[in-house]
Amino acid sequence: MAGASLLTLIDDIASVLDDVALMTKVAAKKTAGVLGDDLALNAEQVSGVRAERELPVVWAVAVGSLKNKLILVPSALLISWALPQAILPLLMIGGLYLCFEGMEKLAHKFLHSHAEEQHEHAELIAAVADENVDLVAMEKDKIKGAIRTDFVLSAEIIVIALDTVKDSPFAMKAVVLAGIGLIMTAGVYGLVAGIVKMDDIGFYLKRKGGAVATFIGNILLAAAPKLMKALTVIGTVAMFMVGGSIISHAVPFLHHGIEHIAAGAGFLKAVVPSLLDIVVGLIAGTLSLLAFKAVNKLRGA
């Protein structure tokens, strides 16, 4: 009997772990869109520091990110237990914020000239090169900024993951949210560390000499800035897609309308919902940015 009970217990544990793994995978898939932006933003935040300080800065931000998760995960579990009806409004707020942030990025890109961006970049390089600049204070500012960015994006990820497991037992919610928090932190900051050191690796390989090492070094040096730019573009598109998807799923007529259009799209059926979610995200982002500007203008007046 004892052996049978032990086997039953092991089977139950295996079943729970399998369910947790499945729910974590689903939650991770749903939050992957936010990660593109999370990755790009944090890679940008920690760029501009001296080469030997890049990894310590990334590590400091990663530790701050874990602290954010220690606040957000228990808060999300408390909300799901005490006020589960608040999950949908929070999800909507998060989706709208994603669209707003994406549109703000686009507006900034089109409203600020290339010359202004180059000037800002030149000022940053000059500040890093200047021996009189307090690099410790500069690093602390960058770390604080990156941790604030991480807090907002982590909150969105946790709420999206919470919505995925809202009908699951409390223990499974806790395990999935904690797992998502750890996986996302390790994945994002591991990739950020790799991205910010790509150029250093490229220079090292070039100095090492040899045809193969020089070839790979040149590829890494050429790819580093392009990768950063690509991540920014992908992250922005992902913000509209994820934010638009959250909004459309919460508004029945939008959700059914998208399903109806996709059903008649033939071989494009698989991609049409995502494209329409991006359109919804663009519209929501535009309206929210205009509303934000109008409120600011009224407050200023």
In sequence order, what DSSP letters do the residues of the chain get, joined into one string?
Answer: -HHHHHHHHHHHHHHHHHHHHHHHHHHHHHHHHHHHHHHHHHHHHHTTS-GGGHHHHHHHHHHHHHHHHHHHHHHHHHHHHH-GGGHHHHHHHHHHHHHHHHHHHHHHHHHS-HHHHHHHHHHHHHHHH-TTS-HHHHHHHHHHHHHHHHHHHHHHHHHHHHHHTTTS-HHHHHHHHHHHHHHHHHHHHHHHHHHHTHHHHHHHHHHH-SHHHHHHHHHHHHHHHHHHHHHHHHHHHHHHHHHHHHHHHHSHHHHHHHHHHHHTSGGGTTTHHHHHHHHHHHHHHHHHHHHHHHHHHHHH-
Alpha-carbon span 294 to 158, nearest angstrom: 30
Asked if residue 47 lies in contact with residue 225, where contact means CB atoms within 8 angstroms, the answer is: no
Task: Give the number of C-alpha atoms closer than 13 A to the C-alpha of residue 289, restricted to the C-beta side.
Answer: 17
Q: Which residues contact 12 (CB under 8 A, 6 or more apart)?
A: none
Query: Which of 228, 214, 221 has the alpha carbon at shortest distance from 198?
Result: 221
pLDDT of residue 223: 83
d(CA 188, CA 32) in angstroms, rounded, equals 11
First-to-last alpha carbon distance for the chain, in angstroms, is 79
Report pLDDT digits (tens) over 182-209. 887 887 778 777 777 787 788 888 887 7
Specify whether the CB–CB gap between 276 and 258 falls below 8 A.
Answer: yes
- pLDDT at residue number 5: 42
Place of tokens 């009806």: 85
Task: Name residues of the chain where pLDDT drops below 50.
Answer: 1-20
CA-based diameter of the chain, in Å? Answer: 79
What per-residue confidence (pLDDT) applies to 199? 76
What value, to the nearest 5°, has the Cα angle with vertex 258 and ends 280 and 267? 115
Closest CA to 42 of 56, 28, 61, 60: 61
Q: What pLDDT does residue 55 have?
A: 74
CA distance 164 to 147: 25
pLDDT at 10: 39
